[in-house]
């Protein structure tokens, strides 16, 4: 079985290090036989992500990295925002 490729788009430096560990722990709990290949997360600041077409550009870049069978996780901090309002934007 070929590895499942996962790309991540994150905001902060801490997430760059933490997200791959988190994903591996979740995958290990779900299916220990599954092998995931996690790309180094793309770190894009919140101000960049909220610009028109910037999130789409980042997702297109991540999609090229993982290919058609891969997955993309977008992790945006919502410390000061309501996730229900930020998500649809």
Place of tokens 């297109």: 60
pTM, full prediction: 0.83
What does the pLDDT look like over 7-37, one tens digit per residue?
999 988 889 999 999 999 999 999 989 899 9
Residues 6+ apart with CB under 8 A from 71: 4, 5, 6, 7
Instruction: Show the CA angle centred on residue 24, arms to residues 10 and 42, nearest 5°.
Output: 20
Domain ranges in the chain are: 4-86
Cα distance from N-terminal residue to C-terminal residue, the chain: 37
Residue 85 has a pLDDT of 73
- For the segment 48-61, the average pLDDT, to the nearest whole number, is 90
9, burial (CB in 10 Å: exposed 0-12, middle 13-18, buried 19+): buried
């Amino acid at each position: 079985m070929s590895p499942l490729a996962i790309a991540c788009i994150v905001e902060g430096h801490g997430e760059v290090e933490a997200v791959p560990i988190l994903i591996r722990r979740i995958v290990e709990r779900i299916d220990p036989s599954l092998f995931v290949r996690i790309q180094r997360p793309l770190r894009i600041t919140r101000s960049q992500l909220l610009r028109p077409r910037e999130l789409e550009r980042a997702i297109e870049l991540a999609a090229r990295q993982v290919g058609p069978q891969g997955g993309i996780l977008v992790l945006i901090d919502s410390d000061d925002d309501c996730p229900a309002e930020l998500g649809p934007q």
